[in-house]
Amino acid sequence: MSKSLVRFALVLTVGALLVFFIDFPSQAQKKFMEKVRRQYLLVPEIGKCILCHKLGEKEDPTKDNLNAFGKDIQGDEAFKPASGKSAEHKFTDAELAALLKAVENIGAKDSDGDGATNKEELDLGTFPGDAAHKPVAKRLEDLRKKAK
């Protein structure tokens, strides 16, 4: 086996171990995302941290980089039991329920001001915190007709 192949295998192994044994801050809210993803049957492209956060290339999701949707969740009264926790906090079922309640509470709002409510955007697979990512007009119209 060549030295470069051995080095590559070693780097790959160390990298895999880091993923399994280090609790990165971006993983701390994983349970939050899982709950919202299941509740709203989000497609993989939407069911990510960027649902609530504005993230740069090397930035982890924090309470300091929330998008408009994330800020509305954080500001909702129902979310209070889950707010202010450290990145290492292990969220309880009650705190996770508080998140879902807050998302439900802000469903009728249009956090990003693009003309579609947060609930409509979640149902149609667009980002309720990003006005540049709004539903296709025809799909939004059809959803609204169906809701009547």
* pLDDT digit string (tens) for the chain, length 148 residues: 566 555 655 555 544 444 333 333 434 467 888 888 988 898 888 888 889 988 776 777 778 889 999 999 999 999 999 888 876 778 889 999 999 999 999 999 999 999 999 999 999 999 999 999 999 999 999 999 998 8
Angle, nearest 10°, between helix axes 68-75 and 93-105? 120
Residues 6+ apart with CB under 8 A from 36: 42, 47, 51, 99, 100, 103
Sign, CA torsion 46/62/27/93:
negative
Q: Residue 46: which of 103, 101, 89 has the closest Cα? A: 103
Sole residue written with tokens 């924090």? 62
- What is the pTM (predicted TM-score) of this model? 0.76
CB contact at 8 A, 101 and 78: yes
Rounded Cα–Cα distance for residues 126 and 32 (Å): 18
